[in-house]
Amino acid sequence: MQAFYTLATEDYRQLAVARDWASDLRTYAVDGRVRVLDVACGSGKFPTALLAAGLPAEPTIEVDLLDPSAFSIAEARAVLAPPFVAAGEHEVFLQDFDAPGVYDVAWATHALYAVPPAQLADGVSKMVAALRPGGFGAVAQAGTRSHYLAFYEAYRATFAPDVTPYTDAEGVADALRGAGARTDVQEIHYRTGSADRGVVEGFLQRCAFDDTVPLERMEAEGPMAVYLQGCRRADGSYEFVHEAHLITWVHA
């Protein structure tokens, strides 16, 4: 995980500076506080990035943490600092969550990749329904041309043809529209990379959720080798190209 976040922390930094989140939180606050649902909260990297980018002391941001992993919820809770305040905890999958009309804001940042395609519409509809009328929703997800999706397709083709594909931003946007959300989409383009082979290996293994395939095999076999060759700089280091879609809507 340390190797993964050596590069992946940039995903959240890019999101934190992509729009005026402080203004969003003020806009959707009620009586000086805003209740937020953090979907698939992971280890709390998005609130951490918002804090690093600078948030005013008000409004108070009361965060409900949703994740199927108790460990992730504990990690995310531990990094919250004012104006964030830990509120509820929901150790469930999004598609099993049911809290209609409760939240002022709901976000899912690089969080929905592993939602099975057959359950995506149901999960997204639960997130949309969790917003109060006039509430604000945001999903950040990699598009089909981004490293995370392209890499995982190469991984599947080379090492694990039977695993479920990742959900892409385009599919999430379609599901949101199917749930009645009138979406706006902002594309965010950036690059990450490293000359440290240990960092690259750990990052790629986490991208695949498979630590059994070493970098040397990835570089030598099948479609994965072809993909990684396209990520190599002339000096042998790696550079990965990202295209994140920041999808936002206001709940009717």
pTM, two decimal places? 0.95
Contact 240, 136 (CB under 8 A): no
Which residue ranges make up each domain of the chain? 2-250
- CA-closest candidate to residue 251, choices 123, 104, 136, 174: 136
Contact 250, 135 (CB under 8 A): yes
The confidence score (pLDDT) of residue 2 equals 87
The confidence score (pLDDT) of residue 88 equals 96
CATH superfamily of 2-250: Vaccinia Virus protein VP39 (3.40.50.150)
Q: Which residues of 143-159 are buried (b: 16+ CB within 10 A; e: fewer)?
A: beebbbbbbbbbbbebb
For the record, the structure tokens of 16 come out as 């934190």
Average pLDDT for the chain? 97
**Whether pLDDT at 26 is above 90:** yes
Q: Could you give the CA distance from residue 74 to residue 43 in angstroms, rounded to a whole number?
A: 8
Reported as a single tens digit per residue, the pLDDT across 165-196 is 999 999 999 999 999 999 999 999 999 999 99
Give the mean pLDDT of 17-30. Answer: 97
Percent pLDDT > 70 in the chain is: 100
